Amino acid sequence: MASELTEKLLGDIERYVKGEMTGIELKMFEDKLKGDATLRSELQLQIELSEALGNQSDYSLFKQKLSREEINKLKTKLRSKEYQGLSANIRNAEKVYFSEKENVKPIQKYYRYFAIAGMIVLFLSIYFIQMTSSYSDYYEEYVDWTELPSFIEKGQQKDAFFKGEIAFKQEEYKEAAAFFEQVKPSYELYVYSLQYLGASYDKLGKNDKAIATFQKLADFDDSFESSKGTWYEAMIHLKMEAKDKAIYLLNTHIEDPDNYNYSEAKVLLRKLK
């Protein structure tokens, strides 16, 4: 039979979770739990909230359910410095509010759980968004193709490189790729044409071609420019959520402090590991 969640019953739940019950009270409460689905549901909610907000009590009931891998990851996330400030503010605001209210109705106290549960849902949403999109977000953060070197003033109107750069800046990436594909290895700006060609493929969503182009760039004789090939290939792998491949390339990249975006690569590696 379901119980009405009175103020006393809610208080018993809190005392149970905090381990404040006597032996007799504990037995009576757990006997009541066995036949009361509403009470079990409320207890589970309180345990999850207490766990997520940092309560270190030893909970025997429902512990199995709360030890799932994703829940543990969430707890770790919630206990990080990033979220501890907000969690502390929630708890402090709760204490202040209820200390100022002498006659708190049971329903008001029950609403408190839903308010905190709402915050947990918010944290959970943020957490899973980060889990599913974080690697491609690094690509968005670190890749800016507008920073590619411009040679328009040095080029000739009939030059394939010149036409390719114009097309790229006009966001005509298919045309740009076609022009840069015509640039010969003997051309003085060939190394830069590879950068534009890889970027064009990236913009067209042709990830495999972009990777192949940046690998070709990485084999170039100029160590600084060739290091851009390793960096850009790593970024494409992040875009594709291929974290392990990106980490491998970034570890190779930081072997030489003179490489392109050396400091950024070290910072990014710390974020990915």
Domain ranges of the chain: 7-128, 142-272
Note the pLDDT of residue 9: 80
Note the pLDDT of residue 19: 82
Name the residue among 183, 158, 179, 182 with its Cα closest to residue 170. 179
pLDDT band at 71 (very low <50, low <70, confident <90, very high): very low
- The Cα 188–Cα 91 span in angstroms is 65
Per-residue pLDDT, averaged over 206-210, amounts to 97
Note the pLDDT of residue 61: 40
Segment of 36-45, 144-153, 240-249 carrying the highest mean pLDDT: 240-249
pLDDT tens per residue, range 112-157: 555 555 666 566 555 555 554 478 999 999 999 999 999 987 655 6
- State the CATH class of domain 142-272: mainly alpha
- pLDDT beyond 80 at 184: yes
Per-residue pLDDT, averaged over 187-212, amounts to 97
Lowest mean pLDDT among 111-115, 215-219, 256-260: 111-115
Record the pTM. Answer: 0.55
